A and B are shown apart, each in its own frame.
Chain A
Amino acid sequence: MTLDARIPPGDIKDKWTRFQSEMKLVNPANKRKYSVIVVGAGLAGASAAATLAELGYHVECFVFHDSPRRAHSIAAQGGINAAKNYQNDGDSVWRLFYDTVKGGDFRAREANVYRLAEISTSIIDHCVALGVPFAREYGGTLANRSFGGVQVSRTFYARGQTGQQLLLGAYATLSRQIGLGQVRMHTRSEMTDVVVVDGRARGIVTRNLVTGEISSHRADAVVIATGGYSNVFFLSTNAKGSNTSAIWRAHKRGAYFGNPCYTQIHPTCIPAVGEQQAKLTLMSESLRNDGRIWVPKSKGDKRAASSIPESERDYYLERKYPSFGNLAPRDIASRSAKEVCDDGRGVGPGERGVYLDFRDAIARLGRPVIEERYGNLFDMYAKITGEDPYNTPMRIYPAPHYTMGGLWVDYNLMSTVPGLFVIGEANFSDHGANRLGASALMQGLADGYFILPSTIGNYFASSKLPALGADGEKALASAADESRALFTKLVNIKGKRAVDSYHRELGTLMWDRCGMGRNAPGLNDAIQRIGALREEFWTNVNVPGSSNDLNMSLEYAARVADYFELAELMCMDALHREESCGGHFREESQTPDGEARRDDQQFCYVGAWEYTGKVSASRLHKEPLSFDNVHLVERSYK
């Protein structure tokens, strides 16, 4: 099968308009005859489910949470970009498009990114209408700030909880449709499989997390909006429940997996303190505006920060990147922190941390100014670590945060399985090898409110979707049986080792070998060890209880089982991509002075993997990327 991205012809500025005017429409009276399953109710899922229902489709929405308001979109702090140019500082759709393509290190599809930039303005309008309480100026207009190292102020925000407010907006509008009976909401229902009939996605299988009941649900199209898979690293900034299972099972039913090795590592997280730690907490990158990052010059220096004299401190970002200094992009800041820690100069427990020091800023600006700018972040840090960042420098360390990789989709957000659409972080589409700050929320809402509701209609209007016959019934039943067998198998292993322990070991391995820095021997070794660990898991995991009631260990075990397979694919993808791009430093591909070297000759494509029955036998397909509007340039921050 060849990969066809189905990008409309014409000038990049006209593609989306053209698509919308030329797409086939479903007669309004017929829309209610179409049913759509939406899996997940984060920004993308909730906005899609609500908008599809507004259009008149019958929607069934499934979430594993107890409520559609809990998805991890809620934790995004910083903001959402939009090319409104309200600040009159020269922003435009073109500039947002350009920044996103370049920020993604030229590994994203131009047409998609342009559309995203174009829609960004409508997202803000719609969210305001929905009552999202964005920050305002005294005159009553929307406030903006600059974010993530771009040169314009285009980020809209709601205190430090933009994600929560945008999600509550989508949740509210979804709730309205549930109240109207247009959406049937299924909470505590985890998707366990996609049902494909005659080559098209026609339903899903779910497990009721309270009763353990496995059931299949039919539909005319399936939309997956289940987010990313950073939790493959065990310690990440993602919520504990965030998982890969929905997209992984879809992958195993025929959806190609795009760029699985592309993950984003966020530089300013609170480091892990001990063995019992369950997750890492992200702190806003804005801290780097005033904080200076350093480590001791000598290895193993155990002195307290305050007793290390100035001459024995290494402000390594300022030293290596004099023009950007502490504001170097996320990927560079993260990688440099790892380097100094690998060099034995890390600080804090386990020596995995670097100082983010506000001493000079406090001396220069005074404590009240720092309090006003960062008070809530300092409080959060103090609450978590028990240390006072006004007196001792903060310790930070990079952590997995977002996955740019995901299921491959075409311009219509449809995967390689017709009728299976993938939106939000779950797809691979718009961020290339590195995501700019404040653009994840933008993509989720663009997909859900505006793009999918159009493209899904085009799919319905141009496809014949006969009622499911005996074959369809059989497919639904047998997929359900397979899911039942999976859960029964897991509870029957009755081994000795806790699921958690497997997940931690897998995560540590992935972080070491498939994190910020990678090399061929390490990746090969990781693939071997993942295989061995997976084998042990399937014979020795301890899942207590039964599969017929609320059993969180069982839910977790099934998710970890999928992580094993995904982890292997991630390593294979990382192994084949012999270039450094975005946040991924391939050690074999570096410039003489140790900087990342991208290889546009060989790797200017999307790597989409096809499952062929066994992960190790996955087949790679390439979607070549052409850059007709933003010309390929090397990123330099020296």
Chain B
Amino acid sequence: MEFTIRVWRQAGPGSKGELKVYRANNVSADSSFIEMMTELNIHLLEMGDEPVAFEADCLEGICGTCSMMIDGVAHGPEKGTTTCQLFMRSFKDGATITVEPFRAGAFPVLKDLVVDRSAFDRIVQQGGFISVNTGNAPDGNAVLVPKDQAETSMDAAECIGCGACVASCKNGSAMLFVSAKAAHFANLPQGQAERYRRTILMVEQMDKEGFGACTNQYECEAVCPKEISVNFIGQLNRDYMVGKLKGAGGK
């Protein structure tokens, strides 16, 4: 297969970037998007050009490292798929494909397609955990967790922290990520003690990082590679207000 690839090139965090046009010839339909980009890089190297910087690691859709805006859609056209699990057979031969980084004020571009998503880590550091030290745990079966609760918690916990929700949101909002993090714990008995405090502290950090507010367009859900439901955003909104009314969230 052959493609025209328009890629965002940006030398560094402060520099001005632009789209550059390259040809990708001889691409196997069985190549993943990452493999196609790797081949393109080898070609660029041969031409004496600097390869495109992009991130990808596990290549099986679970580590959340890969992050490309492909033809205006986070992780490209296939539903429930990360960039690394997107295969070239999903594109028409001869197509022109535009590749941009995940964009948000809170995700500054470091180089080309590489962005800094450490804002997510800082949100989790504020409350995305259960405070229990090693050695304190009762027996694993001491607290029974109804199966449906465990399943709901797992639905939320599937989040891979890739940032596609932020990238696709017209408002650059991180609500799907934050709500998934909160709902993972809020739906388990173990997570109840810190439920409201956790929610409030994470939301406050989310605001501090400069993410936008949710206007319930649900675009995040459509591009989420793990198809995390926006139902969790409703739960986050509720827990936030309940927590505020209870006066939770103080340090």
Contacts and interface: CB of A to CB of B under 8 A. Distances in A.
Q: Do chains A and B touch in the complex (CB under 8 A)?
A: yes
Interface of A: 47, 50-51, 54, 65-72, 74-75, 84, 86, 122, 124-131, 133-142, 158-159, 161, 163-165, 168, 171-173, 175-176, 178-179, 185, 187, 210, 239-241, 273-274, 276-279, 281-282, 383-386, 449-450, 453, 498, 500-501, 542, 544-545, 549-550, 552-553
B196 interface: no
Contacts of A239: 57-59, 63
Best-buried of B29, B58, B89 by chain A (most CB within 10 Å): B58
Nearest to B49: A544
B25 interface: no
A140 B145 contact: yes
A140 B141 CA distance: 8
Best-buried of B53, B141, B153, B184 by chain A (most CB within 10 Å): B141
Contact of A179 (B126, B139, B145): B126
Interface string B116-152: 1110110011111111111111111101111100100
Interface in B14-46: 27-32, 34-36, 38-39, 42, 45-46
Given A72-B63, A133-B150, A175-B128, A128 B39 contact: no
Contacts of B103: none
B56 interface: yes
A66 B53 CA distance: 14
15 contacts: A70-B63, A128-B137, A128-B143, A133-B157, A138-B146, A140-B145, A165-B154, A172-B124, A239-B63, A273-B28, A273-B30, A498-B45, A498-B46, A549-B12, A550-B110
A131 B184 contact: yes
B31 A274 contact: yes
B72 interface: no
Contacts of A135: 150
A136 B150 contact: yes
Given A130-B132, A176-B125, A66 B185 contact: no
B172 interface: no
Nearest to A72: B58
Contact of B144 (A54, A140, A165, A550): A140
Contacts of B29: 386
B57 to A, nearest CB: 4
A239 B61 CA distance: 11
A67 B161 contact: yes
B121 A125 contact: no
Contacts of B83: none
A-B CB proximity, top 4 nearest: A140-B144, A179-B125, A172-B129, A129-B137
B154 A159 contact: yes
A270 to B, nearest CB: 10
Contacts of A176: 125, 129, 131
Given A67-B118, A383-B85, A500-B42, A141 B144 contact: yes
Given A276-B27, A279-B59, A550-B53, 7 more contacts: A54-B133, A74-B62, A125-B139, A125-B140, A129-B138, A176-B129, A383-B87
Given A140-B145, A498-B42, A158 B154 contact: yes
A274 B30 contact: yes
A175 B58 contact: no
Interface in B78-125: 81, 85, 87, 89, 110-111, 114, 116-118, 120-121, 124-125
Nearest to B154: A133
B184 A125 contact: no
A276 B39 CA distance: 7
A165 B226 CA distance: 14
Contacts of B144: 139-141
B65 interface: yes
A136 B58 contact: no
B147 A138 contact: yes
Nearest to B126: A179
B197 to A, nearest CB: 12
Contacts of B50: 544-545
Given A75-B63, A128-B143, A550-B114, A386 B129 contact: no
A458 B131 CA distance: 26
B71 interface: no
Interface residues of B, number: 76
B125 A178 contact: yes
Contact of A140 (B35, B114, B146): B146
B76 interface: no
B158 interface: yes
A383 B139 contact: no
A50 B35 CA distance: 36
A129 B141 contact: no
B58 A74 contact: yes
Given A66-B116, A129-B136, A172 B128 contact: yes
B114 A277 contact: no
A142 B160 CA distance: 24
Nearest to B185: A131
Given A276-B31, A278-B38, A278-B59, A549 B138 contact: no
B64 A70 contact: yes
Contacts of B134: 47, 50-51, 54, 126, 449-450, 453
Given A135-B150, A278-B32, A175 B129 contact: yes
B60 interface: yes
Contacts of A542: 45
B161 A281 contact: no
B210 interface: no
A323 to B, nearest CB: 34
Contacts of B30: 273-274, 277, 385-386
Contacts of B28: 273-274, 276
B132 A129 contact: yes
B51 A553 contact: yes
B67 to A, nearest CB: 10
A179 B85 CA distance: 33
B150 A126 contact: no
Nearest to B56: A240
A80 to B, nearest CB: 11
A74 B63 contact: yes
B147 to A, nearest CB: 5
B57 A241 contact: yes
A137 B56 CA distance: 36
B182 to A, nearest CB: 11
Contacts of A50: 134
Nearest to B187: A133
A558 to B, nearest CB: 16
B188 interface: yes
A179 B129 CA distance: 11
Nearest to A68: B121
A66 B118 contact: yes
A86 B184 CA distance: 25
Contact of A544 (B51, B63, B126): B51
